[in-house]
Amino acid sequence: MKLIVATRKSSLAQTQTDLVINMIKEKHNVECEKLLMDTLGDKILDKTLDKIGGKGLFVKEIEMALLEDRAHIAVHSMKDVPYEIPPMFTMAAIPEREDVRDVFVSRDETPFMELPKGAKVGTSSRRRAAQLKLLRPDVEIVPIRGNVQTRIRKIQELNLHGTILAAAGLKRLNMENVITNYFEAMDIVPAIGQGALGLETKVESEAIEIVKDIEHRKTRICVEAERSFMRELKGDCHSTIGAYATLEKDLMYVVGIYEIGGRIIKKDIEGNTEAFEELGKNLAKKIINA
């Protein structure tokens, strides 16, 4: 059986898919082929995601390829996957997560906290923009979209002092050298599922048996806790929302942020790892009741 693996065309999406294909080959010696797709989210770059329908735009066309049996597996960045997955699909495996942190890429190697007053920083993420403003109320946020390379190029083109990107993408692209400084996850709470990949299949697909070996249980329950938080708040890219779950033996710790009435509320919660979905829900309730 040859597995057809659907993914977006960007170099990062392809690199991530190659990582998955290598894992599958290592475990099962199964031949794989990529199906490269242009999603609506990739085509419309002059508008922010909340204006054109949200992060699901990176996922819907790829799910159609699964539905029409043009592909067996879809590889997604988990942070692009809406909290509701249609019932005919399942997230068959979530491999081990990469670095969850956000990073600052500076025009001239000046760290974020040392930028001049009124510095221009590029990001179209509401989550990043809101938290950057808490750290430095004086910075000017300039909306920019596009793949990693495009956003780095726009630093020069738009005369920005720098931009914010996910460490995971830069590490997977072997571009760590462009990182000026890392933000700790407590300072800039990451996107839901940041750094994690998801392998989606149809519910009754034979491919589930092949990919389940690359599941990483700890990553799965952390991501599911974060997604439970997002589901409870009905969060999407119209929301300023972020969460990050970590494990220490039987204990799970989750920190989350959410904007209510123009105010960013950050709360955390700790509890038994087995109750990971409940922890996400309870953290959401804690924020709503704050």
Per residue, the 3-state secondary structure of 209-270, as one string, reads HHHHHHCCHHHHHHHHHHHHHHHHHCCCCCCCEEEEEEEECCEEEEEEEEEECCEEEEEEEE
**Are 172 and 210 in the same domain?**
no
Cβ(197)–Cβ(20) below 8 Å: yes
Predicted pLDDT at 52: 42
Cβ(232)–Cβ(249) below 8 Å: no
Residues of the chain with pLDDT > 70: what percent?
A: 93
**Are 30 and 70 in the same domain?**
yes
**Are 144 and 204 in the same domain?**
no
**Are 211 and 277 in the same domain?**
no
| Residue 210 structure tokens | 């092949």
Residue 189 lies in a domain: no
**Are 290 and 265 in the same domain?**
yes
DSSP at 87: T
**Are 123 and 210 in the same domain?**
no
| pLDDT band (50, 70, 90) for residue 49 | very low
Q: Which one of the listed residues 38, 50, 80, 268 is annotated catalytic?
A: 80
Predicted pLDDT at 238: 75
We report the CATH number of the domain holding residue 151 as 3.40.190.10
Closest CA to 162 of 106, 102, 103: 106
Q: What is the mean pLDDT of the chain?
A: 92
**Are 135 and 264 in the same domain?**
no
Residue 191 lies in a domain: no
**Are 284 and 222 in the same domain?**
yes
Predicted pLDDT at 39: 67
Predicted confidence (pLDDT) at residue 46 exceeds the cutoff of 60: no
Distance (Å, whole) CA 70 – CA 73:
9
Residue numbers of the domain that contains 13: 1-95+196-215
**What angle (nearest 5°) sits at the alpha carbon of residue 181, between those of residues 176 and 185?**
100
**Are 90 and 137 in the same domain?**
no
Active site residue 80: yes
Number of domains present in the structure of the chain = 3
**Are 209 and 220 in the same domain?**
no
Residue 225 lies in a domain: yes
Distance (Å, whole) CA 79 – CA 29:
29
Closest CA to 118 of 148, 83, 178, 159: 159
